[in-house]
Amino acid sequence: MKSLSTIDSWPSPHAASAVVAADGAVLGLHGDADRRFPLASVTKLLSSYAFLVAVEEGAFELETPAGPERSTVRHLLAHTSGYDFAERTVRFAPGERRQYSNVGFEVLAETLEKATGIGFADYLGEAVLQPLGMASTSLDGSSAADGTSTLNDLVLFAAELQSPTLLDVQTHSQATHVVFPDLAGILPGYGRQKNNTWGLGFEIRSTKSPHWTGLMNSPETYGHFGQSGTFLWVDPALEAACVTLTDKDFGPWAVEAWTPFNDAVVSELRGS
């Protein structure tokens, strides 16, 4: 896909991108697919998948109390527990507002560890990484932001997201559709959103504007971007996903570059 070569003009020392069809076929790839990149918050997609596997295995339930008083696993996954972004300070009542929180994901990892007796990095490896063959991916710290991976590995994960084998299709559907609708909040890097839509660990594009995906991406598009200049989106309407990794921290360059890049990818997928 010619649109992927645009990443060569970005102010990043290294960049790699791929487009993956719903059947796992790689429709386009550009850059070093074996280079390991820090994922930052794209880590949350991998962690969320592990948490959902834990739900299906019975380690805990979505309604299991976790985090602040009256908060549950569901609240933490959907960034509605009320926790501050980086501190264990409660800013809002659970379900009142979409407060994006790294702390919430760290509490989820602790909740899983307590329930299973397994360190979260090990659980992630056993539940997600090893079954998918993601041998070059690791978690070396926070379940919210300390993953490292390669384009080749995330191509495997993007295929899994479109044709789940590790999760029941109903669990996957719930995770990738809006939970706790009609909540306002701030989308990091893009400002306040009146309807800041999220699923269970997955950000849902909906009608957000501005946004890091393309203007041409469907409202059903879900995924995540990271502070390290990374993103992964799945657009069910296109039956395709895009993974893009850089080692240039997110900033104005990304706000300017990502939307036209993603629109070019969508346009090429549509053949227009």
Going from N- to C-terminal start, the domains of the chain cover 2-270
Give the model's pLDDT for residue 271: 87
Which residues of the chain carry a pLDDT beneath 50? none
pTM score over 0.85: yes
Residue-wise pLDDT for 193-225, tens only, equals 999 999 999 999 999 999 999 999 999 999 999
Report d(CA 205, CA 200) in Å as an integer. 13
Cα atoms in the Cβ-side hemisphere of radius 13 Å centred on 35: 14
Q: What is residue 174's three-state secondary structure?
A: helix
Q: Which fold has domain 2-270?
A: Beta-lactamase (3.40.710)
In contact, 98 and 113? CB cutoff 8 Å: no
Q: Which residue has the tokens 């890049």?
A: 261
Which pLDDT score is estimated for 132?
98
